A and B are shown apart, each in its own frame.
Chain A
Amino acid sequence: MNQLLSAKNISKSYGDFKALNDVSIEVEKGSIHGLLGPNGAGKTSFIRIINQIVMPDSGDIQFDGTKLNPNHIKDIGYLPEERGLYKSMKVGDQIMYLAQLKGLNKSDSKKRLKYWFEKLEIGNWWDKKIQELSKGQAQKIQFITTVLHEPKLLIFDEPFSGFDPVSANLIKDEILELRNKGATVIFSTHRMESVEELCDHITLINLSNKILDGKLTDVKRQFKSNTFEVGLQPKSEIDLKAVINEKYEVLPPSFKNLNDDLKLNIKLKASDDSNEMLAFVLKHAEVNHFVEVIPSVNDIFIKSVNSN
């Protein structure tokens, strides 16, 4: 059993509006699973279904081998995109309350709270009210409430919004550490660079349908265009570009480097071999840059959504 969460053929409608159409997602244990999609694609609906806030119209969800049921609530930690806390409640009371709602007892909550306060460099906030804290500070509190009960599944919806780069990095490291300790993470965001950095798997949802799914490396392989960035120092004064252009498709360069040389993107046909191409250019020039173009998640996102 390698899946922590296995959602099969989930559909959900609100009146005439179809929020999710036959979506299946498998989340591997101990992975960080990126849930991507444009605004209004159905991500939040899916997350709410996992949290049992709303019930799916059809479909089946297995959590750690059993059908998803209210007992799983304590195994899930959810940081919603639209977050908030009771403004006039004290930090300590608030975290304790939310932890107890997740089934934690008082003394455990207190112990863990101390640990997290130290970890996130939170000083003496216990008696402060949320409205006295800055936005970033409140976000830290919210993060703690999400992870305090040590859930098996963590769901983060835009976890970095509202954080300065230093705090965002702190949170990122915490998420990675939680994963390394065995937690599984579902990560929904529009910040593609953090997807590159964190995610093992991604699922792309658009217009209520799943359009892309898989290991990040597999997805990238699927989207690579067989294009290479090549930086050349011509050996003789020939029109190198024209020579290459005869044999291969040449695109404008997508990279920068420090040398004042010829920069090209060379796109190979399916039948071409990259070694052959390298041998060909070596005959005419000194190669100081040779990299396969790997599509960024951003490119994959835009490409998939536009072609959908």
Chain B
Amino acid sequence: MNHLKLIIQREYLTKVKNKSFIIMTFLSPIIMVVLISVVVYLSQMNNDTIKNISILDETNTLKESIRDKKFVKYSFLEDLDLEAAKLLSEEKEDYGLLHIPQMATVSESAKQSKFYSESTPSLSVISDLEKLIEKKFTDIILLDKGYDLSEIKSSKVSVNLNQESFEGEKTSKLDNIVKLIFGGAAGYLLFMFIIIYGNMIMRSIIEEKTSRIIEVIISSVKPTQLMMGKILGTSLAGISQFLIWIILGGVLFTVMGSVFGLSSVPDSQEMINQTANISANSEIQNLFTAINHLPLTNLAIAFVFFFLGGYLLYSSLYAAIGAAVDNETDTQQFMLPILMPLILAVYVGFFTVIEDPHGTVSTVFSFIPFTSPVVMLMRIPFGVPIWQQIVSVLILIFSFMGSVWLGAKIYRVGILMYGKKPTYKELVKWIKY
């Protein structure tokens, strides 16, 4: 036990004192924040340019009902044919030209409308125009048929379906999104953690092998002890780094946000229009209730278990690989079988769980130990029976012990093997020694 403590301590200190580790710890959140800020800033810049759109409306219906928006300006062309209008619009360097032809019927005119532009127009511009034409022409047709428009308007009901579970808890659409974000973040965090620090463990074992100190060390401690010490020491360094990233990232984002004046809502005007009947207050309230609805304690406890279990499961495999090879280039052939289930887990998480969190695929993958940490963490916000979680954790713990045992076997033999690139067949032989 004393040895284990010493090894963990050394591994931790060498990791955190390492120059590149320190630089990475403090530089990556800065780089991330700067990058994201630049992207957001640039996309805002893009929004700021005013789009001029010319309209050639042969039916003369739109004129009084269209209004300029903040970044979109409409101008009407009159007494021109289509070709001349196109030429003129191009000359003016317009964003585009909307043409509504005069046809036999009103609905035919609407259907034959076209938008001409230099390059592919943005989706929001097109959908805005579509909505506008649809509304105006529907109104005209309704008027033609003798309906009273104000009657129709006043009889419209806008529904934002209130949801409630059978137990009587109120929920909203937002709930699902919040669940997704929490589950996804937990799963993805684990995925990243495994890849970054698994590799770190692997490299540090290869380093011990190439510097040949390994034989000195294992004449003092058991290989399994050394392996566990390395895994735990590196993990602690990793957790420290992660915490610094989160804290530093949070602080930086706040600072950057206020410097660049980033607002999370790009066009508040429209947002308010869309959600006119729901007050902004109730949205925020919904968000808080949605977060409150999450099984937070459950998620937190499960996160600890699945995080540790999943991470240790994979890192013992990384350790075994590190022990089996002489240098990093030889690791490639063994990396694929590790990365495959991991990537699969993330895909299943992001596609299947969202679609159907309690379907067969999601359920099965949340029991397979190599995918369960990621998939189960994504499922838990949607409410997973406790027995399922316990069974899954137990399976994970047993497979973790198995993989440590297996990893230790390969490790024990591998660290003393030099000079040749082992094959899978040889690895199996080592396990039998």
Residues of chain A touching chain B, judged by Cβ–Cβ distance below 8 Å, are 14-15, 48, 51-54, 70, 73, 76, 78, 80, 82-89, 97-98, 100-102, 142, 145
* Residues of A with C-beta under 8 A to B222: 70
* Residues of B with C-beta under 8 A to A84: 211-214, 216
- A141 smallest CB distance to B (angstroms): 11
* Residues of B with C-beta under 8 A to A82: 212, 215, 418
Closest 8 CB pairs of A and B: A84-B212, A101-B220, A84-B211, A51-B219, A80-B215, A78-B219, A84-B213, A82-B212
Q: Given the complex of chains A and B, what is the CA–CA distance between A83 and B216 in angstroms?
A: 8
Tell me if B343 counts as interface (CB < 8 A to partner A): no
- B252 smallest CB distance to A (angstroms): 30
Chain A contact residues: helix, strand, loop or mixed:
loop
Determine which of A53, A54, A83, A86 lies in contact with B14 in the assembled complex, contact meaning CB atoms within 8 Å: A86
Closest-by-CB residue of A relative to B221 is A101
With A86-B14, A101-B6 known to touch, is A53 a contact of B212 (CB < 8 Å)?
A: no
Determine which of B14, B208, B211, B216 lies in contact with A98 in the assembled complex, contact meaning CB atoms within 8 Å: B216
B1-26 Cβ-contact flags toward A at 8 Å (1 or 0): 00100110010001000100000000
* Residues of B with C-beta under 8 A to A48: 416
Q: Given the complex of chains A and B, what is the CA–CA distance between A82 and B415 in angstroms?
A: 12
Q: Given the complex of chains A and B, what is the CA–CA distance between A51 and B433 in angstroms?
A: 18
Q: Given the complex of chains A and B, what is the CA–CA distance between A118 and B18 in angstroms?
A: 30
Residues 399-433 of B contacting A (Cβ, < 8 Å): 416, 418, 429, 433
Tell me if B256 counts as interface (CB < 8 A to partner A): no
Q: Given the complex of chains A and B, what is the CA–CA distance between A52 and B217 in angstroms?
A: 12
Closest-by-CB residue of A relative to B223 is A53
For the A-B complex with A51-B219, A80-B216 known, give 4 more contacts whose Cβ atoms are closer than 8 Å: A73-B219, A84-B212, A84-B214, A87-B211
Q: Given the complex of chains A and B, what is the CA–CA distance between A70 and B416 in angstroms?
A: 19
Could you list 15 examples of A-B contacts with CB < 8 Å? A15-B433, A53-B218, A53-B416, A78-B215, A80-B216, A83-B212, A83-B215, A83-B216, A84-B214, A86-B14, A86-B213, A88-B18, A89-B14, A97-B6, A101-B220
* Residues of A with C-beta under 8 A to B212: 80, 82-84
* Residues of A with C-beta under 8 A to B416: 48, 53-54
Residues 190-220 of B contacting A (Cβ, < 8 Å): 207-208, 211-220
Closest-by-CB residue of B relative to A89 is B14
Q: Given the complex of chains A and B, what is the CA–CA distance between A101 and B3 in angstroms?
A: 6
- Does B433 lie within 8 Å of A100, measured CB to CB? no
* Residues of A with C-beta under 8 A to B3: 101
Q: Given the complex of chains A and B, what is the CA–CA distance between A51 and B213 in angstroms?
A: 15
Q: Given the complex of chains A and B, what is the CA–CA distance between A273 and B10 in angstroms?
A: 68
